[in-house]
Structure 1
Amino acid sequence: MLRTHLTVLETSASKFGSAAVFRTPELDPTTNRVRAWKSTSYQQFYSDVQTFAKYWTQTLGSQGIRQRSVIGVWLSGFLYTDVLHIYGLSRAGYIPQLFSIRLPNPLVIYELLQRAGAKALIHDASFSNIVGDCPVPTHLAADVRGLDLRTAPLSPVLDVSEEDVGFIFHTSGSTSGSPKLVLCRYRWLSNVLEKSYSICRPRNSHRQDVTVFIGSMCHIAQSFMFIGTLQHGSCVVQPTALNFPSEELIDMIVRCGLNRLNQFATFLANHLRASRQDSRLLSMLMALDDVLYTGLALPREEEQWAYNHGIKIRNLFGSTEVGGMLLSGGCERNPALVAPLPGTSYRFVPTSSAPTESQSTHRSTAELFELVILADSPDCPDPSLRHADGNFHTGDLFQEVLPGFYLFRGRDDDWIKSENSLRCDTKAIEDNARAMCGTLIAECVVVGTGRPSPVMFIEPGVELNHDKLKKEIFRKIRLFHSRRYLHEQIISPDMIVVVPKVTLPRTATKGNIRRKAVEEKFKSQIDEIFARAR
């Protein structure tokens, strides 16, 4: 039988039965602070997965929905019960199609369900009032641990082939108004097992590793890392929020024994900045076995602070389609440089075109290479996502600083990454604004790298009060944004900034607006916008 996430869970439940696999917060109702961290053992988790698998076998089976059918799952992905629904469905023999709560428009969810041929939708209680017209049967994601399902039938784990689909994720940014399906076949998942095993290997085999949720189980980052957690009998702490404060990090270290920190770069940078004024936090960060970040590059100042103080940071470069691809820490001369993970087959292809504005304006003239995942690489995505040559072209550009070691240098397109490292197509937003607003806009540019959502800068095409102009533009683009992920949406007129004509920085040759330069020139203004939005 092929080794999968389910066989790993069964093996780990037997091998590490009494060890904690989850620590979940119990909040004080008056202060909303964490009163205690509840432990759930591997054996209990395995038993709960079996219970949820029996429930979904019974519930979906009674509707005539056969095993190997796709079932939509629209949950936060942050709760213990969310993990039980995902793994329980998989154990029951179904294919979970995982939707993020950051995709709030049910019409887009319905389109993706139909595109995948899904037979039902399991949803969070918060969506109960908006799924009435769903084209497939809907089911509330209830906590069924209290049901007596001991005698309910459950078939053996399905024997699957490498070409069978195990999960369906979605790209984190919208293309033509909708994310793409990311079919994860068991061949790909087998490689995820190998890569995550290597990345999550404990530094000290004589104690249990304790780490923390890096994101939602409905996204690839946490699903990838959780498979690594399971293989080593490690424990994962569920924080109260992804951008948990440094006080909560200290609490997890003290009370949960956290010794490995996995975070998106934006959130890790907050802890590194706080450690400049907090010697206790700094000493705790220095004592961690591993501090792994992903999504975006760390700001140069915070990266240097970490290296200068012996904080063991590593950068894992990855994507939804491929999972983890490149990892830093293997180069003695420069630990910040990344290199491909073992067992992969990649090619760095020289780019012939000049650097685009989405890339750093402080780049040297060194040659740039696009990272290409070759068809024979075990982590190459589904053929539906590949280029005509059969390979997967990431669009990510690198500079080879030392032989075999690289530095990320941006992208060859107009996509940016938000605060939580999800992607946003800025050009699509700009094109829609120009198409919908006509003469209201002379020129526009969308920025927001590392921000919760995008901000659009406008050079007006008409003489109009700026507040009225912003409201009119927002009214015209609102329908387009309602279909997009939350991190891709212009959420209010406050996220539109009107500046005088010919104010936005441009290139000297073609006169194109320089996106990165706009972010730098108007940084304080953008800071103020998001400070008001909190």
Structure 2
Amino acid sequence: MAHFMHDVLASLVKHSSLPLLKRFTGSPTRPSWESISYGEYLVDLEKMAAYWFDRLSSQGVKESGVVGLWLSGTSPTNLVHLYAICRAGFIPQVFSVRLAAPGPIAINKLLNACGGTVLIHDQQFSEILADFPLAKLVAPDISTVKPLSITLPELPQVQGSDIAMIFHTSGTTSGMPKPIPETHSWLTFQAKVQWPGAWQGKLKTQTTLNNLGAFTAVGSATCINYLSWSGQCVVQTSATNFGADELLAMIRECGLNNLLLYAPWFSNLLSIARKNAEVLEALRGMTQIAYTGAALNPEDEAWIIEQDLPATALYATTESDLSDRQSLPAMRVVKGTKCRFIPASLDTSDLDSNSEKRSRGGRLFDFFIPDDTPNCPHPSVRNRPDGHITGDLFEEIQPGYYAFRGRNDDWIRVSNNRYFCDTKSIEDNILKTCSDFVQNCVLVGHYKPRLVLFAEPFVAIQDDEEIHAFKERILQRHSEFNSQLYESERINSPLQIVVAAPGSLPRTKEKGNIRRKAAEDEHAELLKSIYEKLEV
């Protein structure tokens, strides 16, 4: 199989005169953009590929060697560095700015685990990396780099199963994010099958849509791969939750005709559109609005249908993609993929409260990606010998159509950005480090701004001073592990700990495990007051 960059480079040449990126240059109150064409991006890519080939070769990095890349994620120039490293024949291991919380120790461990020996980083991370044990290079301002008179080698010969890029989970397991390698087959399939299949609208002009999140996250980092294949353009926003004025400016100044939004931010725009006719007409005028990351509330879904907005639910993880233009919130497998739904060993009473409210009483299914499809995760990520189950639950609401119904594992989505969180690894650490005074515990916070821990002591305590001391002991014992976690996964305040009476938390009949969903439902009012206090 050809290296995925062969298709990228050919597409950059093919569409050289079209805009590829609209770089945000203004402010949220006065938005403006600078256009970067496919041809201009290619010039910078080739210049930086020669630069990085020269610098990394002098550091002893061999062909197909892993190179760490820790950038801000806020500038489209990040995409030049990323693809230039690929063109130079290396494998970039991309780190999120969120890793500033766990710190360089985590980056060093992850880079070592993948065989990397050099870290390229933005200038802003220089101080925190002062004692970093591996070789490090500062990513230069591309405009200051002079072209080198060297000839780049041909792209490496690869197999489809070979690794092309490496990203990481948005949550940690035992205090560390997990590497997510993306193969050449995966990237090629993403560009030629998954991405075109997710967008059903037909346009006579260039498809132009907004970016979704940081340019160091897999969805936006791989955009050059999937946009270039179709000759599309991406507009950088000032923030993920951009407002109505910026939306209207992107339509007016950048020709925005498609939207890709996290469900909470789409809900915000819908709230504005109910009162603002101009915003409503702008949404109606989109070729397609794809929302992802969570389910919309039923009221929003009903209003979308009533107003005839061209919205589709899109299920997207780093592993797979589902979408459909039919009645919300129904989805079907993207045409051309072999992914399928297999019956789950759960019923609707096991769902989280939000999903249970949406349930129509249908059968629940896991989403399965077989190992013979190009979009199956790398073998190091798979959880079955014959493929991968994503952990997401779906309900069949009509033959062949499915609605997202939460998770079927110990991972939940927490914070306003819906980051993943492995609750079990945090619970296990608390039970281990606090084994002399905590009998059992459970973390809740699915689709909530912060985690909250319910902890049962061995002996009931009711005195306020004893309760406070109990919470402080948990925080102290958990502090070392806590410091290794992403900010969204941390328990930093006594407010995030609820002391429950011994044996009072709801449990399963068979194994006696605490039921996370039931605990959250039983204490809904208490949790609401806790979240209000945490936001003050």
> When the two structures are superposed, what TM-score results if normalisation uses the length of structure 2?
0.89
2:40 pairs with 1:44: yes
User: Secondary structure in 2 aligned to 1:102?
Assistant: helix
User: Secondary structure in 1 aligned to 2:113?
Assistant: helix
Contact 1:53–1:89 at 8 Å: present in 2 too? yes
Of residues 167, 184, 187, the one that matches 2:185 is 187
User: Secondary structure in 2 aligned to 1:267?
Assistant: helix
**Map of 2:488 onto structure 1:** 487
Of residues 295, 308, 311, the one that matches 2:309 is 311
CA distance in 2, matches of 1:275, 1:473: 46
User: Secondary structure in 1 aligned to 2:337?
Assistant: coil
**Map of 2:336 onto structure 1:** 343
User: Secondary structure in 2 aligned to 1:420?
Assistant: coil
Moved more, 190-199 or 60-69: 190-199
**Map of 1:475 onto structure 2:** 476
CA distance in 1, matches of 2:244, 2:231: 26
Moved more, 496-505 or 413-422: 496-505
Contact 1:358–1:413 at 8 Å: present in 2 too? no
Write the letter of the residue equivalent to 1:434: L
Write the letter of the residue equivalent to 1:425: D
**Map of 1:297 onto structure 2:** 295
User: Secondary structure in 2 aligned to 1:181?
Assistant: strand
Deviation, 1:88, is: 0.9
**Map of 1:56 onto structure 2:** 52
Contact 1:224–1:323 at 8 Å: present in 2 too? no
Deviation, 1:523, is: 5.5
**Map of 1:229 onto structure 2:** 227
Deviation, 1:137, is: 0.6
**Map of 1:517 onto structure 2:** 521
Percent of aligned positions that are identical: 32
2:69 pairs with 1:68: no
User: Aligned-residue CA RMSD in angstroms?
Assistant: 2.8
Task: Summarize deviations over 1:54-74 as a string: whole Å, max 9, x none.
Answer: 110111111221121000111
Deviation, 1:85, is: 1.0
Assess, with a 3 A threshold, how the Cα gap between structure 1 residues 431 and 188 changes in structure 2: closer, same or farther.
same
User: Secondary structure in 1 aligned to 2:177?
Assistant: coil
Assess, with a 3 A threshold, how the Cα gap between structure 1 residues 61 and 328 changes in structure 2: closer, same or farther.
same
CA distance in 2, matches of 1:195, 1:516: 40
**Where do 5+ consecutive residues of structure 1 fail to align?**
none
Task: Summarize deviations over 1:238-271 as a string: whole Å, max 9, x none.
Answer: 1122222233222222222211111111222221
User: Secondary structure in 2 aligned to 1:171?
Assistant: strand
2:406 pairs with 1:413: no
**Map of 1:130 onto structure 2:** 128
Deviation, 1:508, is: 8.5
User: Secondary structure in 1 aligned to 2:144?
Assistant: coil
**Map of 2:267 onto structure 1:** 269
User: Secondary structure in 1 aligned to 2:63?
Assistant: coil
Write the letter of the residue equivalent to 2:36: T
Deviation, 1:340, is: 1.2
Of residues 102, 107, 110, the one that matches 1:109 is 107
Of residues 439, 442, 456, the one that matches 1:445 is 442
Contact 1:357–1:515 at 8 Å: present in 2 too? no
**Map of 1:531 onto structure 2:** 535
Of residues 372, 382, 386, the one that matches 2:382 is 386
CA distance in 1, matches of 2:197, 2:376: 19
CA distance in 2, matches of 1:121, 1:250: 40
User: Secondary structure in 2 aligned to 1:157?
Assistant: coil
Deviation, 1:175, is: 1.8
Contact 1:448–1:519 at 8 Å: present in 2 too? no
Count residues in correspondence.
Answer: 522
CA distance in 2, matches of 1:255, 1:496: 45
Assess, with a 3 A threshold, how the Cα gap between structure 1 residues 375 and 97 changes in structure 2: closer, same or farther.
same
**Map of 2:426 onto structure 1:** 429
Deviation, 1:119, is: 2.0
Write the letter of the residue equivalent to 2:218: I
- The equivalences for 1:358-373 within 5 A come to 358=352, 360-362=355-357, 363=359, 365-373=361-369
Contact 2:170–2:177 at 8 Å: present in 1 too? yes
CA distance in 2, matches of 1:206, 1:504: 62
